[in-house]
Structure 1
Amino acid sequence: MQMVACSSDSTLSITLANGVLKDAQGRTGYIAANYQFQFDDPPQAGAIYTAGWSVCGNGSLALGGSNVFYQCLSGSFYNLYSETIGAQCEAVTINALQLVTC
């Protein structure tokens, strides 16, 4: 069963097609040279992964064979990474949701 969430103007809406993530502005989801998960158009030079994304049977987002990402505290907010970059990081999974208008 797929999870559903309400969409709003501040919701990050992503599509996945042929292993490539795109946001609502058409920017590519990728892993930058510093292992950070971000969206740009075009991806930054030196990007590690610009494709290879999938959704696992349990609904989690995966890159290659791993569905583990790391949220790392940076001041008062978190950035997402494909690798841990220090003690301020903790392992997380990212769940794919169907967005609906509520």
Structure 2
Amino acid sequence: MQTLKAPQSAKRATIDRGDVERLPAMRPGFCDHCQNALPKSAINHHSRFCSSACRQTWWKIAKLRGAKLYYHLMVWRGHRGRKGTPGAGRLGMISSMVDRFIQSDRE
């Protein structure tokens, strides 16, 4: 007789923040969150943020925005954006979301 095994719990996806932190700054010499000029010591260390508060806020926003984009991208990918499917028009929706993110960052 075969015994049933309990299903393995899904492992929670983790983000390797080190990989993201090593990406180049969007505007070298300026904070990726507040857009203020970085202190000289931060520039020499290739930092992306002027303070730990900016870095933490940036990560919170990135996590929220990334989850939304991930959801829409997965729906699009599952249906390849074909007309009459839930994936129809999703790439346009993703592009619009990113445009709104950029606009709200400028305000």
The answer to whether the superposition gives a TM-score over 0.5 is: no
Q: What is the TM-score normalised by the length of structure 1?
A: 0.24
Q: Which has more helix, going by share of residues?
A: 2
Q: What is the TM-score normalised by the length of structure 2?
A: 0.23
